Structure 1
Amino acid sequence: MAKGKGKGPKGKKITLKTAKNSIRISFDGGRRLDLSKMGITTFPKCILKLADVDELDLSRNMLKKIPNSIEKFQKLRWLDLHSNQLEELPKTVGTLQNLFYLNICNNKLNSKTLPEELNLLKNLRILNLGLNCLDNIPSTLGALKELKELGLFDNFLTTIPKSVKTLPRLQKLNAERNPFPEPKKEEYIDPIKRVESLYLVQEKDLCCSCLKTCQEERGKLSKLKNTMSCPSKKLSFPLLLTPNSTAMDNQEQWRLKDEHL
């Protein structure tokens, strides 16, 4: 067997020099370490020496795991890990208290490998969990009171916890293309069928109040019946002539003229 056969791709090795050259200044003056689309398969340990950056972009690589040492990036406000092959996230991600943007979309995370420690990110504004393998969302995410945008699209969710849907600052929730059950349609029930039993009694068996009510209802029914059975009056239009009557008058005038000629 050839050496190395059966192993995954080695990927590009990132040196400290390469990482330093990948630092950019963001629009608000922060330092951004951009290692996206670099073909990285293993988290480069050398970047731990650059842990004072404000933003870290490792998106569009082939990473399967993020180490616990991610906790060293305490200044991070922006962490982009989308479009990798991540199967789990470390619990230490919950220590990044300054984080306001976290994108882990398009990975292989499931509900068991999504750490509950995400609920510790009290300053998080944007969280993207779309395009993963999640079949449920922990209700503890309801602790993210500052969250404004939440992406849950293209997962296997059948429900979203109320604590998440009612987050006080949530403005955008994208949960499209999940197998949510269709809302049940209300079954139509015939009002007549709602009457379980009907009893016929004689007037002498009714109390005064019930007898009076029945008589009033019977009177209303009789009045309505008489109104509907009354033939409608024939409408007359004395000032209008029918076409046939006009034609007959004209014919009579012409006949008289012919006789005098």
Structure 2
Amino acid sequence: DWKEERGPGKKVTLKMVKKVLKVTAEGRRSVDLSNLGIATFPKCLLKMADVDELDLSRNLLQTLPEDVGSLTSLSRLDLHSNKLEALPEALGQLVGLTHLNVSNNRLSSGGLPAALGALTRLQSLNLGLNRLDRLPPGLAALPALQDVGLFDNLFTELPQFLTAVGTLNAKRNPCSYGRGDGAGDGAAEPRATGLYLAPESSLCRACLYRCRQERPPHRRSTRGDGRGPEEDKRKRTYSGLVSPNSVAAANQDAWRMRG
């Protein structure tokens, strides 16, 4: 199986793409090129203009060509866990796109094109695990947008329009650790009434110490660091998530190539 021959710099041919082309139960034409060590966008994909779903996740892509805008049949594009620092303006030409996942990359806010505001059918946008602190204003006008992932970024406040989306994941941003839940001027109102338990690894040292000191006396450690007895024995594990919707930014390179 050619998909077992994964590795950095792997060349993908049109023949290979046709081999992995599948038709879903809903009749969508889907191509899965995930986790192959692909470092350059395969130009042969531009000859597959009738593909509805394209998965290039968990590869080594650093850039996308402007020609990607010719894939106008795409409704789903998955690019999570690559090394993208910017997205091309040509993405705005994919007007049929309903789902876009670019989480776990190296995107800065300057690398998000204003043309994303042209994706009027977009329902789901995952921008988690990047380096973002603001969004293109045009996203506020997307009428179908209902699911937004902004977790593990650098937002100190969230755009007001996000209060209208059905599902918002903005956990582990600086605004999440301020007073209350980060709501304030220009920030989104809290979307959940339950309690969110942040992992210790996401807290700064001062916050972690303060949380430990607020524990009942019988749960405090006698070692002086605030840890409870049960924590001395606890080992952290990784569950092997396929899509990095809750992974820590510090480990994204190590997890990128896990199959």
TM-score computed with the length of structure 1 as normaliser: 0.64
Shift of 1:183: 3.0
1:7-18 residue pairs with structure 2 within 5 A?
Answer: 10-18=8-16
Q: Which residue of 2 aligns with 1:182?
A: 178
Letter in 1 for 2:163: T
Letter in 2 for 1:154: D
Shift of 1:139: 2.9
2:117 to 119, 137, 143: 119
Give distance in 1, aligned partners of 2:138 and 2:179: 25
Q: Which residue of 2 aligns with 1:166?
A: 163
Q: Which residue of 2 aligns with 1:77?
A: 75
Q: Does the CA contact (< 8 Å) of 2:108 and 2:131 recur in 1?
A: yes
Q: Which residue of 2 aligns with 1:93?
A: 91
Letter in 1 for 2:139: L
Letter in 2 for 1:27: A
For the aligned residue pairs, the C-alpha RMSD in angstroms reads 1.4
Decide which moves more: 145-154 or 130-139: 130-139
Q: Map Cα deviations across residues 205-249 of structure 1 (whole Å, 9 max, x no partner).
A: xxxxxxxxxxxxxxxxxxxxxxxxxxxxxxxxxxxxxxxxxxxxx
Identity over aligned pairs, percent: 50
Q: Does the CA contact (< 8 Å) of 1:158 and 1:179 recur in 2?
A: yes
Shift of 1:105: 0.4
Letter in 1 for 2:16: T
Q: Map Cα deviations across residues 62-98 of structure 1 (whole Å, 9 max, x no partner).
A: 0001100011111110000000000111001011111
Q: Does the CA contact (< 8 Å) of 1:52 and 1:73 recur in 2?
A: yes
Give distance in 2, aligned partners of 1:179 and 1:93: 29
Q: Which residue of 1 aligns with 2:43?
A: 45
Q: Map Cα deviations across residues 2-37 of structure 1 (whole Å, 9 max, x no partner).
A: xxxxxxx85211011111101111231110011111
Give distance in 1, aligned partners of 2:138 and 2:28: 31
Q: Map Cα deviations across residues 117-159 of structure 1 (whole Å, 9 max, x no partner).
A: 1111000000000000101123321111211100000000111
Q: Which residue of 2 aligns with 1:30?
A: 28
Give distance in 2, aligned partners of 1:145 and 1:137: 16
In structure 2, the gaps of 5 or more residues are 1-6, 181-259
Q: Does the CA contact (< 8 Å) of 2:148 and 2:168 recur in 1?
A: yes
- Does structure 1 residue 133 correspond to structure 2 residue 131? yes
Q: Which residue of 1 aligns with 2:56?
A: 58
Q: Does the CA contact (< 8 Å) of 1:78 and 1:101 recur in 2?
A: yes
Give distance in 2, aligned partners of 1:41 and 1:48: 16
TM-score computed with the length of structure 2 as normaliser: 0.64
How many residue pairs get aligned? The number is 173
Give distance in 1, aligned partners of 2:40 and 2:167: 33
Q: Does the CA contact (< 8 Å) of 2:106 and 2:131 recur in 1?
A: yes
Q: Does the CA contact (< 8 Å) of 1:138 and 1:161 recur in 2?
A: no
Q: Where does structure 1 differ by over 4 angstroms across 4 or more consecutive aligned residues?
A: none
Q: Which residue of 1 aligns with 2:234?
A: none
Q: Which residue of 2 aligns with 1:107?
A: 105
Give distance in 1, aligned partners of 2:67 and 2:53: 16
Q: Which residue of 2 aligns with 1:257?
A: none
